[in-house]
Amino acid sequence: MAIMSAALPAPLAGGQHRRPIITAAIELTARSGWQAVTMARLAEVVGVSRQTVYNEIGSKAALAEAMVAHELDRFLTVVGAAFDRHGDDLVEAIHDAVRAVLELADDNTLLRAIASATHGTAPELLPLLTTGAGTLLAQAKTMLAARVAAYRPPLTEEQVAVVIDLVVRAVLSHVMQPSDTPARTADALAWVAARVLGVAATPPLRHR
């Protein structure tokens, strides 16, 4: 199985055609499958030459990484916005962030395409969420550790890392296989975080 490079490429790096190419690749993958994505097809969709696609992206493996980096950036953006909205309440920030991520994932074309790989339609794309999962988790947890530290929680750095790992893995599990609505899942994870932090969730289990 292919392994993602240690550092995912920045989704907005490159020339003016890079983002349209990545967006077209995501939409084409969702609509027709990863096997239908070729440099020639992308060139036709975007309205550029095939050489331009190669110049902006490189190989198909690099394209897959760029697609995942693009979507990861979208998720981290909504997480950051949630923390910005609740600068004085860590539990509410966690609740808002979890709900925002799950709602975004509910209509995420790339994640649906990758999920379909488990049914044999795009097996070459699945490693991006398996062997490459460590890179994605590391980026998400690094960003969250910095945001959570600003609240000065009553935990050691190691304990904070454990809480973040728990929440991130739980969210990823619900992204791939939801067991409840985004609101209820966010509610439950915020309640767990509140108990770990030793503070009251206000209100407790609001969507039950």
Residues 58 and 135: their CA atoms lie apart, in Å, by 20
Residues 171 and 37: their CA atoms lie apart, in Å, by 29
Q: What is the pTM of this model?
A: 0.75
Which residue type, as a one-letter code, is found at position 100?
A
Residues 200 and 204: their CA atoms lie apart, in Å, by 7
> Which DSSP category does 192 fall into?
H
Angle ∠(22,24,28) on CA atoms, nearest 5 = 120
Secondary structure string (H, E, C) spanning 99-126: HHHHHHHCCCHHHHHHHHHHHCCCCCCH
Angle ∠(13,16,20) on CA atoms, nearest 5 = 90
Contact 193, 83 (CB under 8 A): no
Residues 94 and 194: their CA atoms lie apart, in Å, by 10
The owner of tokens 């995501």 is: 26
Residue 94 is encoded by which pair of tokens? 């966690």
Question: Hey, what domains does the chain have and what are their CATH numbers?
Answer: 18-197 (1.10.357.10)
Encode the chain (208 residues) as per-residue pLDDT tens digits.
333 333 334 444 568 899 999 999 988 887 887 888 999 999 999 999 999 999 999 888 888 888 878 878 888 899 999 999 999 999 999 999 999 999 988 877 676 666 555 445 555 665 555 545 566 678 888 999 999 999 999 899 999 999 999 998 898 888 878 889 999 999 999 999 888 887 766 655 565 5
Residue 74 C-alpha from the chain's centroid = 7
Which residue type, as a one-letter code, is found at position 202?
T
